[in-house]
Structure 1
Amino acid sequence: MYRARTRDIEVVVEPFYLEEQSYPEESRYVWGYHIVIENQSSSTVRLTHRYWHITDQSGLVDEVEGPGVVGEQPRLAPGDRYEYSSGCPLDTPSGVMFGHYRMETDEGEAFDVEIPAFSLDSPGLVRVLN
């Protein structure tokens, strides 16, 4: 699991490889990821936008942004948590994702909450570190 905390909003990510949707012989690799967002602050916030920076093994970068997550803009009161799952296809057997959520308080203050960088690695992938 990967964790980040910004202004008492915690984001936890757990990625997993989706073998049944992946076709390595066709250079198609798919991962799912489960995210938990927990509001440990004293303010109510609403997730209004998301931004993803996705880099595959060859260095190709894809940026994805848009309103909310999985069609929702959840509102989290103090102590609330929101969970969702989504996925990411790549043309290479590994990659890295990170990003941020744009939050807005009931008072109209907007701020970004970090989504921690997490690794997308195919099972059995041998990594060589320099």
Structure 2
Amino acid sequence: MFELNKEYSRENIHAVVGGNKESFLPARQGKIVAACLRAELNPLAPEYIVCNSGSAARAAGSTLARQTEAIPVFLRQDSDRYRFIGNYAVQESYTVPDECVPYIQGTGFSKQQISRVLKMRAVKA
């Protein structure tokens, strides 16, 4: 599906998995189909994904937390270039603000601005 360490545009990613081209956790048919992350908002990615308290991020994080299947994870390299770093599945989900604090350092978010932190694990394709 995607080649490890190769860069893709959001259009390329969308063509393969679908979902919203602007969302960092695009969904299709009620499931999160990828993670398109920015290092400045997710400095511990791909092992941890930070979801802010905005309604879209809260809903996407909640949806992903319930999923068992892996999703392709991409890290933003430039304005529309995302490097594929592998397939990951949720291992744990933290929603208590004090549990989230260790994972939000460097994001610019306060613990009150975070709805969830997802601990991810790599899954072989």
- For normalisation by structure 1, the TM-score amounts to 0.27
Larger Rg computed on CA atoms: 1
Higher strand share: 1
Higher helix share: 2
